[in-house]
Amino acid sequence: MANFDKSFDGLLKLEFNSPKNALHQNKGESGLTYMGIYESVNPNFVGWTKIKSALKMCGQIEKASEILYKDETLRRDVKEFYKANFWDNANLGAIKNDRIADLIFKFGVNTHPKTAIKKAQKTVGVKEDGIIGKITLKAFSEISKKDFETKYKKEFEIFYMDLVRKNPNKYEKFSAGWQNRVKLSQADLDFIHLA
């Protein structure tokens, strides 16, 4: 069965690169982002009270970020948030191939679980309903990791380019980051070596 812990560790490497930027505010966004959790989209995340308190106490976002990063309870809250909303909710634990589940998880966090699942279903040639059931699981078991990864990443390359093409003023600033997700990142290399 797929390994959430390994995928979660890889995701964090994609979402930020040091304790100083675990908490940040992206240009043009109205809310904070902590370990990849965007406040405006996820206002009910249990950690926001603690995060806002640390920010108020420190006065500096980088300092607050470093302090919050060391908070084990908050780290556990973050992990539980990702597991409930992006792993369990998408039924990724039922996938036998770790790498397929890992990719769906990472793209699901960035886009939406349903979008990531539909792109995975398109990749393996089954009905694109956004639900991982028996037929989808069977199709996942019949494709090689390498073929799935190549085709799946191509789906997202096209998806991201289309978003930018349709609305460049809104999405151009995210384009480089999105394309980096598609490329074989260090987090992906670490995942492959651990598998």
pTM (2 decimals)?
0.86
Segment 4-34, tens digit of pLDDT: 999 998 888 877 778 999 999 987 788 999 9
| Residues 98-114, mean pLDDT to the nearest whole number | 93
Q: How many Å apart are CA 99 and CA 66, to the nearest integer?
A: 31
Please list the residue range(s) of the chain that carry CATH number 1.20.141.10.
Answer: 97-195
Mean pLDDT score, 172-189: 67
What local confidence, expressed as pLDDT, does residue 137 receive? Answer: 98
In 3D space, the residue among 5, 15, 181, 12 whose CA is nearest the CA of residue 98 turns out to be 5
Mean pLDDT, the chain, whole residue set: 89
Question: What is the second-level CATH architecture of the domain 97-195?
Answer: Up-down Bundle (1.20)
Angle ∠(144,116,45) on CA atoms, nearest 5: 130
Q: What is the pLDDT of residue 64?
A: 96
Tokens, residue 130:
């956004």
- Let me know: does 37 contact 129? Beta carbons within 8 Å: no
Q: Is the pLDDT of residue 195 over 80?
A: no
